[in-house]
């Protein structure tokens, strides 16, 4: 899955007062390394399981933050 927008991820994290990739990982139940890379912008893709866990942890609609890797992100 490909991250649509780094800014959208940061905005959702800010809303929930999540300041670090580690805190996001803990809330989503995923590996801290993956979350850190996504938050810091070193990566823009992850597994579908990780994407779903992050979207659920941030209470955003499915498919809002991530799109399948073969598609172009809009916006």
User: Which tens digit of pLDDT belongs to each residue from 14-71?
Assistant: 999 999 999 999 999 999 999 999 999 999 999 999 999 999 999 999 999 999 987 6
CB of 65 closer than 8 Å to CB of 4: yes
Query: Phi/psi at 3 (nearest 5 deg)?
Result: -70, 125
**CA torsion, ordered 67, 14, 59, 37, to nearest 10 deg:** 40
Task: Enter the pTM of the model.
Answer: 0.89
Per the DSSP assignment, residues forming a β-bridge with 45 are 2
Helix (H, G, I), strand (E, B) or coil at 45: strand
């Amino acid at each position: 899955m490909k991250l649509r927008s780094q800014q959208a991820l940061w905005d959702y994290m800010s809303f929930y007062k999540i300041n670090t990739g580690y805190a996001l990982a803990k809330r989503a139940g995923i590996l801290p390394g993956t979350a850190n890379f996504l938050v810091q912008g070193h990566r823009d893709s992850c597994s579908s399981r990780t994407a779903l866990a992050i979207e659920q942890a941030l209470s955003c609609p499915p498919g809002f933050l991530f799109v399948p890797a073969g598609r172009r992100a809009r916006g």
